[in-house]
Structure 1
Amino acid sequence: MSQAPLVLVDGSSYLYRAFHALPPLTTSKGLPTGAVKGVLNMLKSLRKQYPDSPFAVVFDAKGGTFRDEMYAEYKANRPSMPDDMRVQIEPLHQSVIALGFPLLCVDGVEADDVIGTLARSSAAADRPVIISTGDKDMAQLVDGHITLVNTMSGSSMDVEGVKEKFGVAPEQIIDYLALMGDSSDNIPGVPGIGPKTASGLLVGVNGGLTELYANLDIVPTLPIRGAKTLPAKLEEHREMAFLSYQLATIKVDVPLDIGLDDLQMGQEDPAKLYELYTLLEFKSWLNDLDRDAKRLELSAAAEPAPAGDLFSAPQAEAPVAPVEAAYETILDQVRFDVWLEKLRNAKLIAFDTETTGIDAQQAQLVGLSFAVQANEAAYIPLTHSYIGVPEQLDRDTVLRALKPILEDPNKLKVGQHAKFDMNILANCAIGGDQSEGISVRGIAFDTMLESYVLNSTATRHDMDSLAQKYLDHTTVSFQDIAGKGAKQLTFDQIALEQAGPYAAEDADITLRLHQTLFDKLSAIPSLASVLTDIEIPLVPVLARIERQGAFVDAELLGIQSIELGNKMVALEREAFEIAGEEFNLGSPKQLGVILYEKLGLPVLKKTAKGQPSTAEEVLAKLAEDDHRLPKVLMEHRSMSKLKSTYTDRLPEQINPRTGRIHTSYHQAVASTGRLSSSDPNLQNIPVRTAEGRRIRQAFVAPKGYKLLAADYSQIELRIMAHLSRDEGLMNAFRNNLDVHTATAAEVFKVELDQVTSDQRRSAKAINFGLIYGMGAQKLGKDIGVDTKTAKAYIDTYFARYPGVREYMERTRAQAADQGYVETFFGRRLYLPEINSNKPQERAAAERTAINAPMQGTAADIIKKAMVAVDNWLTTSGLDARVILQVHDELVLEVREDLVEQVSAEIRTHMSEAAKLDVPLLVEVGVGNNWDEAH
């Protein structure tokens, strides 16, 4: 029977990672606890995986080490430990000991050195060792007996795993670190040598640092970028390289007065745990202790529960050695037929496209990759066109063979940003026929959206970031194979030797990410529902809207560009007149001299370099005090932005094939769930200015059609009424009252029919201001009253609508307790700063906590409405289609004789997108252009 492995835990590594990666939790008295909870959760998980193993949890001791004596700058660039982390060290140590784990801190060396010594001595005795760490330096210890496990990501690394990740063997890791350095520890290395160059040098000389410096003459012949200049660089920094080698070397002979027998798990101390969990306010674990104590009281004869059963730690599978990926590039019909059969029999297909660019409406398809099981994938190149490219399978033959599989709605598929791939394949023009593409169906999952729904703020949602975070895998980046800047190759120019593994990896990682992420989502049913009921059904809808595009009147935009240019010239002259001299309006330096030195305006804010700021918000504040030049400058900037972003740019963005503008919608950007758009960004066209409305006038209906705009009325206030359960607000909406007039009547204590337009305007500012967390001072400025009067209005508002105040207080408390808030449909927004000890950060997080459920629910509702409207239009066959989505509004292109029918139907579908306790009101407008319809 094989021995249970010795488990060595890098406690210091996990303390830092838990502190920075997890939401900050604090007790009711302000004691930070998030890092403690994160590390303890990890330890409990490990204990369940290795119930029979000896353990050691190793932390860095206080004070310096021998490396500081060797190199005074060692770790000098590290910021001092945050106070919120420092105060968690002692309760963490006590908790580790109370759980029965042996805990080690050895003076004069780092935790790595203690772990290295224990690992090597155990391995020498033929005992397997598991090192639980997130530190890449530990890879130097890996051998046939020693494996690294990253408990936070669930990944593991043996000898082959080290080679796969770093490109060198474990015995070369110290040399690798010595060459590239380590900025986190301030190990200098050789300037300009990064991971790829370091591994290339070591593989090239088939050795380490000593062999490299003995063979500098062969370095110029190695297949490394810039190889000819490397010998001089290495020679210049020889001394620093060997010093870096010493700094990076983990000491494996630390004198220790403990042996393996001293590392057996001890008994837990329930009394001490109860004391610690009470201090740390770990309520669920306290409840577990209470339940266990009662269970023992009821049955004294019962066996005590294993240590891990006392806690609600997440279950995790035992780590397995990484499997080497099997990727292939398909160039012959036999292998293509094999993969066709795999795809036909697969329960789930991961797929990805490679293209000539990132514009989904104009890029050309270069190839496709597929995976149906982890660590196995294939790339089918179609149109690589460099000199010497091998013969590829016929493009149209391949696409026609794949078409039935990709279009089968019952053949489930997963992509990473699948909308892009759907558009590429829809536009792929099989046989040169622009109308014949592939209409991908059966998109069941999307890893970008899985990550986004799981936690919209925890990470970026691109594949490289997700692979690193959830798989602990560093993917091959596009720049690695294509280069950078003006000389960057398009994918069809990249050699298949590089393109094949890169593309296949995309499909493989997509499948592996899905397997990890969907498991996490499935553990939280409300989040799984947001993914499957809202985000995934929206993907094909957005793809269709993007492909449809919108007509714009380029001539009208050209006229407006000229007019904006003339207005900018006039504003520039006015600015010169006020300043008494000419200057560059776009130069912060010159502008600062005029504003602060010549005109003597007050300095409200300074830049990081100590110069008086001329930023937008500063000019806005100066303009509020009736300073004339800041007002002129702001107006000039506004005109300039409209001209450069819209009136000049939109005509250039007209697709020559379709004659339309095709924006791109993004589901995984805004933290609250709202859609955003780019190229062009339609969300930011101003609607309250004449110039902004004129830009909307350029979005026109084709002949025989009208534009129809359907907009939710006051949707966030209606959601506030539903969430707060305030009777006053709900009655106003149920009785179809103008809510701003109703609020004005309450706040100003007048009858409804006596409310003036100014009072209604003030009430509107109050209604919207409060749900965005506006204070009395800002409200007073907005409605033209002093702060005391504004505060009185707010107090009256809350007195009339007490449910709103209760909702705000309840939401703040819930956010502080659980670290997130939820929308009506269960979407979560995590708030890392909600328990910050910095008042400004905490206040901002509290404002977000109050607003996010409303803004997020509104986003969910419009998304559900888009799916419902798309389904109706598709099944009805009506000559109408959605061409734009902006905020709470849908814009449709409708045949003239169908306008009345579509108007009635769209009201129904949008108003029924959610069942709130107040009605959803949809306003519909029609016109020849977007401005008329809105």
Structure 2
Amino acid sequence: MSRLVLIDGSSYLYRAFHALPPLTAPDGSPTGALFGIVNMLRATLKENPDYVAFVVDAPGPTFRDELYPQYKANRPPMPDELRAQVEPMMQIVEALGFPILRVPGVEADDVIGTLALQAHEAGIPVTISTGDKDFAQLVRPGITLTNTMTGSITDDAGVVEKFGVRPDQVVDLLALMGDTVDNVPGVEKCGPKTAAKWLAQYDSLDGVMAAAADIGGKIGENLRAALHRLPLNRELVTIKTDVALEQAPQALKLRERDADALRGLYARYGFNAALRELEGGKPDPATRPAQATLAAATHAAEEAPDPALAAPGEYECITGSDALAAWVERLQAADLVSFDTETDSLDPMRANLVGLSFAVEPGKACYIPVGHDYPGVPAQLPRGQVLDALRPVLQDAGKPKLGQHGKYDLHVLRRHGVEVRGYAEDTMLESFVFDAGGLRHDMDRLARKHLGYQTIKYEDVAGKGARQILFSAVALDDATRYAAEDADITLRLHRVLSAKLAGEPTLQTVYRDIEMPLVPVLARMEATGVLVDAAELRRQSADLSQRMLAAQQRAHEIAGRAFNLDSPKQLGALLFDELKLPVVVKTPGGAPSTNEEALEAIADQHELPRLVLEYRGLAKLRNTYTDKLPEMINPDTGRLHTSYHQAGAATGRLSSNDPNLQNIPIRTADGRRIRTAFIAPEGRRIVACDYSQIELRIMAHLSRDAGLLRAFESGQDVHKATASEVFDVPLDEVSGDQRRAAKAINFGLMYGMSAWGLARQLGIGRGEAQDYIALYFGKYPGVRDFMERVRQQAREQGYVETVFGRRLQLAEIHSRNQAQRAGAERAAINAPMQGTAADIIKRAMVSVDAWLAGHRDQAAMLLQVHDELVFEAEAGFVDTLVAEVRRRMEAAASLDVALVVDVGVGRNWDEAH
């Protein structure tokens, strides 16, 4: 998914200046703040953001100065040492290719706030890189803060942990506290704890002001004395989110860096590590000032590689039969064959083979072009001849093969008549198993990290953007450098990563017994695809469109006029200005919100909010599924083919995309109806096999709590059994509300849910929710002890493990940031359960696929959706399939609680539930 990173340049300049020692360049000019900024920007570039902007304050007054002439009046002038670093900073930012934004009349905060909300509304996740607390008001699902100087990340829960208030209350908190830096006087003696306490009691600044007469003591007097200026305070501390900007978020793309300018700047200011990185070398941690404390500088340090593995390679382009025969002999004699394919598409189900590359020893590789078609291209060997020569090696199960995300290559070669066997090693999966919490596991990153090697990028040989050419149009010399390097670097990486895994036997087992055997299983599932009734989806789209239109017309009737249901501004004006409905939720800017939460809160007071929610729900189903899925049906197979990713979630869960078939909503009738379009061919059936409450069963196994074990052993409804224990009522007298509360606690605890979260989910007071949790732990003390045991293990080891030894590193478990530390503790509790569930279903898939090898004409595994496997089978084979799949799924792990698999059969996926 695309991502926007907004860098608060003004904030970081000051913070880096105060955080770092007074460093100097060779000519004696100050560079401390500049050093921090450069390292932060380099760290940002390594994240490969899709969109990014470096935002700084423009010179001159802003609208806040007009509102309050004393705004920032006490701020001292910029120190000369810092002022001298501003222009070099802007030169480096410009040379690195970052878009720079400076908008007169507003502050950088307002520009960032506007872009963040524009991107959020467009469905683009946003990261705001800042150390400024004011930005907490912008946080929401999809907008997070990251402080590159401390390494901390702040989301919704982090705001609550840090400030004691919700993100939508941060503006009111700041208004009450004031801001001495900006010369905004708050309520005297009102610090963050007092302000948070008032907001917890009265919810908003308006509520606090209305209750001012009831607040006693000296602090109450101070509040009443400040009442006249609090509305202005709120306006001053509110980040504007409606600044008129020339650039939309989607326009904020990195430009090509100016290497010559950077070379001169880095040399002038003595940034040797950055200079070596620019030249394609390895940054040397020893050249960094020892006093540098920025997390970005820490992240820039990589492991010291073996110099031999970072040396340039020797690559050969194979265009003659003799050279091809010589390389085939080398492949046949090799212990391990590293290979890669080049194609004309990222879609493996439609890509045409353009060339293949091979390596059998580090530093030596070849590229065999078979499909380059630009004018004047040298003669190439026919594709058929090349594949016939390579087929004996590639299809030899006894000849181990190595790739980087090789599942793609398996698809491409299969479609060209070569069934690769013996796929034994994958560097992406080696990296993922060794460090699941690592950022990404693509070859370019891994080469930098483990080899100190700067790879050739696709854009270097094929160009960028609208001018980018297909690989088939790349000149053979350039293609050879790029493609042969892929096979060579993959082999070099394997030398490093396999040695690391060898030193961790449990991780080695996860890699060997779970991840690698799963690769061909997923490849078969993806190649099989699932049959989809496009006509049914089109009927559903038409129905959804009609109902959207009806909802729109009804909304216009209620409003007494036409308005745009998709416009938050028009909707807000109608609901809150004209209809005078209560404002329950506000935007970070303090305006009434029209998001789903806000509309749900007032849906019982007027028909219009309910209609808008209905309209939005129908639109999402149509736009995401019923309109889009028919367009994604493969014209060659007539089926829909998703792609599964093994190295996505740190817990080991598989993810699915293009299309994502794991997020089809099933809680509504309209969502479930989409599954009716996933059908079986004539004479066959869809079979869905789903683990029942698997994570709760794993919780019972790991905690060994007698009560929870007994609840499962009884064979009764576990949530009802839990409610009976917690609320001390007979099983047959458990009410629906009690069962619902028990279910929320059962699942909530696995995800580290707090009393506040439980209260919100159940619609009860926080105190009552805390009582529920206390009752639960009183009845299930083993669960409480297990959770504390896991936290302690995470603190001592820095990681937690699944039942099978998969490891989740928790780098933030010792963070001084409370929110960050609390997040790591929540992950520590959940990861063993979610990760074990992922391991179990992967083991089951490998086992079931092995059995299906003798029945490929009778049944096929189609989909994996979290804890569910979906099959297609001949009607007469269904009973056999169900019995064997159930047996193998339930035998995929030996726990203290039996695994149970629920099975459904139908002509479509919905019927199978």
Partner of 2:477: 497
Distance 1:836 1:184 in 2: 34
Amino acid corresponding to residue 700 of structure 1 in structure 2? I
Distance 2:371 2:38 in 1: 51
Partner of 1:602: 583
1:65 correspondence with 2:53: no
1:603 Cα deviation from its structure 2 partner: 6.8
1:760 correspondence with 2:748: no
Partner of 2:365: 377
Distance 1:576 1:807 in 2: 55
What does 1:571-650 correspond to in 2, within 5 Å? 571-576=551-556, 581-594=561-574, 599=580, 601-602=582-583, 604=585, 606-607=587-588, 610=589, 612=591, 614=593, 616=595, 618-619=597-598, 622=601, 630-650=609-629
Distance 1:869 1:499 in 2: 41
Amino acid corresponding to residue 800 of structure 1 in structure 2? K
Of 457, 463, 469, which residue of structure 2 is paired with 1:477? 457
Partner of 1:188: 91
1:361 correspondence with 2:349: yes
1:75 correspondence with 2:34: yes
Do the aligned partners of 1:343 and 1:349 also contact (CA within 8 Å) in 2?
yes
Partner of 1:740: 719
1:826 correspondence with 2:805: yes
What SS class does the counterpart of residue 863 from structure 2 fall into? strand
Amino acid corresponding to residue 488 of structure 1 in structure 2? Q
Distance 2:480 2:461 in 1: 11
1:830 Cα deviation from its structure 2 partner: 1.8
Amino acid corresponding to residue 548 of structure 1 in structure 2? T
Gaps of 5+ in 2: 1-18, 46-84, 99-255, 274-301
Amino acid corresponding to residue 467 of structure 2 in structure 1? K
User: Taking structure 1 as reference, are residues 76 and 321 closer, same or farther at Cα in structure 2, changes over 3 Å only?
Assistant: closer
Q: Is the deviation greater in 587-596 or in 750-759?
A: 587-596
Cα displacement string for residues 333-361 of structure 1 (whole angstroms, at most 9, x for unaligned residues): 11111110110000011100101101111
Partner of 1:695: 674
User: Taking structure 1 as reference, are residues 781 and 190 closer, same or farther at Cα in structure 2, changes over 3 Å only?
Assistant: closer
Distance 1:691 1:503 in 2: 47
1:409 Cα deviation from its structure 2 partner: 1.2
Distance 1:553 1:671 in 2: 35
Cα displacement string for residues 289-339 of structure 1 (whole angstroms, at most 9, x for unaligned residues): xxxxxxxxxxxxxxxxxxxxxxxxx99897559533101110011111111
What does 1:443-592 correspond to in 2, within 5 Å? 443-576=423-556, 581-592=561-572
What does 1:233-244 correspond to in 2, within 5 Å? none
Do the aligned partners of 2:676 and 2:909 also contact (CA within 8 Å) in 1?
yes
1:762 Cα deviation from its structure 2 partner: 2.8
Do the aligned partners of 1:422 and 1:543 also contact (CA within 8 Å) in 2?
yes
Do the aligned partners of 1:619 and 1:631 also contact (CA within 8 Å) in 2?
no
Partner of 1:786: 765
1:854 correspondence with 2:833: yes
User: Taking structure 1 as reference, are residues 617 and 771 closer, same or farther at Cα in structure 2, changes over 3 Å only?
Assistant: farther
1:875 correspondence with 2:897: no
Distance 1:672 1:488 in 2: 36
Cα displacement string for residues 640-665 of structure 1 (whole angstroms, at most 9, x for unaligned residues): 22111110011111111111111111
Partner of 1:895: 874
What SS class does the counterpart of residue 837 from structure 1 fall into? coil
Runs of 4+ aligned structure 1 residues displaced above 6 Å come to 71-74, 182-185, 240-244, 314-318
What SS class does the counterpart of residue 917 from structure 1 fall into? coil
What SS class does the counterpart of residue 410 from structure 2 fall into? helix
1:630 Cα deviation from its structure 2 partner: 4.9
Of 333, 336, 341, which residue of structure 1 is paired with 2:321? 333
* Pairs aligned (count): 667
User: Taking structure 1 as reference, are residues 835 and 617 closer, same or farther at Cα in structure 2, changes over 3 Å only?
Assistant: farther
Distance 1:361 1:596 in 2: 51
Q: Is the deviation greater in 636-645 or in 489-498?
A: 636-645
1:741 Cα deviation from its structure 2 partner: 1.6
Partner of 1:19: none
Amino acid corresponding to residue 354 of structure 2 in structure 1? V
1:681 Cα deviation from its structure 2 partner: 0.5
What SS class does the counterpart of residue 367 from structure 1 fall into? strand
User: Taking structure 1 as reference, are residues 398 and 249 closer, same or farther at Cα in structure 2, changes over 3 Å only?
Assistant: closer
Amino acid corresponding to residue 497 of structure 2 in structure 1? L
Q: Is the deviation greater in 466-475 or in 885-894?
A: 466-475
1:380 Cα deviation from its structure 2 partner: 0.4
User: Taking structure 1 as reference, are residues 624 and 818 closer, same or farther at Cα in structure 2, changes over 3 Å only?
Assistant: farther
Distance 2:332 2:647 in 1: 31
What SS class does the counterpart of residue 444 from structure 1 fall into? strand
What SS class does the counterpart of residue 75 from structure 1 fall into? helix
1:619 Cα deviation from its structure 2 partner: 3.3
Q: Is the deviation greater in 463-472 or in 503-512?
A: 463-472
Cα displacement string for residues 590-618 of structure 1 (whole angstroms, at most 9, x for unaligned residues): 445555655465374545xx464858565
Cα displacement string for residues 535-560 of structure 1 (whole angstroms, at most 9, x for unaligned residues): 10000000000000111111111111
Cα displacement string for residues 722-751 of structure 1 (whole angstroms, at most 9, x for unaligned residues): 010111111222232221121121122122
1:784 Cα deviation from its structure 2 partner: 4.1
Do the aligned partners of 2:266 and 2:272 also contact (CA within 8 Å) in 1?
no
Partner of 1:351: 339
1:776 Cα deviation from its structure 2 partner: 2.6
Please, what is the CA RMSD of the aligned residues? 3.4
Amino acid corresponding to residue 683 of structure 2 in structure 1? G
Q: Is the deviation greater in 480-489 or in 581-590?
A: 581-590
What SS class does the counterpart of residue 37 from structure 2 fall into? coil
Distance 1:189 1:794 in 2: 54
1:815 Cα deviation from its structure 2 partner: 1.5
What SS class does the counterpart of residue 539 from structure 2 fall into? helix
Distance 2:867 2:441 in 1: 25
Distance 1:662 1:770 in 2: 36
Partner of 1:223: none
Distance 1:540 1:548 in 2: 12
What SS class does the counterpart of residue 905 from structure 2 fall into? strand
TM-score, normalised by the number of residues in structure 1: 0.67
Distance 1:891 1:318 in 2: 46
Distance 2:350 2:805 in 1: 37
Do the aligned partners of 1:554 and 1:651 also contact (CA within 8 Å) in 2?
yes
Distance 1:614 1:390 in 2: 63
Partner of 2:204: none
Distance 1:625 1:588 in 2: 20
Amino acid corresponding to residue 706 of structure 1 in structure 2? R
- Aligned residues with identical type, % of pairs: 52
User: Taking structure 1 as reference, are residues 66 and 408 closer, same or farther at Cα in structure 2, changes over 3 Å only?
Assistant: closer
Do the aligned partners of 1:616 and 1:634 also contact (CA within 8 Å) in 2?
no
Partner of 1:816: 795
Partner of 2:750: 771
Gaps of 5+ in 1: 1-59, 82-133, 137-181, 196-229, 252-313, 429-436
User: Taking structure 1 as reference, are residues 626 and 373 closer, same or farther at Cα in structure 2, changes over 3 Å only?
Assistant: farther
Amino acid corresponding to residue 894 of structure 1 in structure 2? A
Partner of 2:395: 407
Partner of 2:703: 724
Distance 1:73 1:791 in 2: 49
Of 795, 813, 821, which residue of structure 2 is paired with 1:842? 821
1:396 correspondence with 2:384: yes
What SS class does the counterpart of residue 530 from structure 1 fall into? helix
Cα displacement string for residues 355-387 of structure 1 (whole angstroms, at most 9, x for unaligned residues): 110111111111110010111110100111111
Amino acid corresponding to residue 477 of structure 2 in structure 1? E
Amino acid corresponding to residue 677 of structure 1 in structure 2? S
Do the aligned partners of 1:187 and 1:247 also contact (CA within 8 Å) in 2?
no
What SS class does the counterpart of residue 777 from structure 2 fall into? helix
Distance 1:715 1:903 in 2: 19
Of 401, 420, 423, which residue of structure 1 is paired with 2:411? 423
Do the aligned partners of 2:24 and 2:31 also contact (CA within 8 Å) in 1?
no
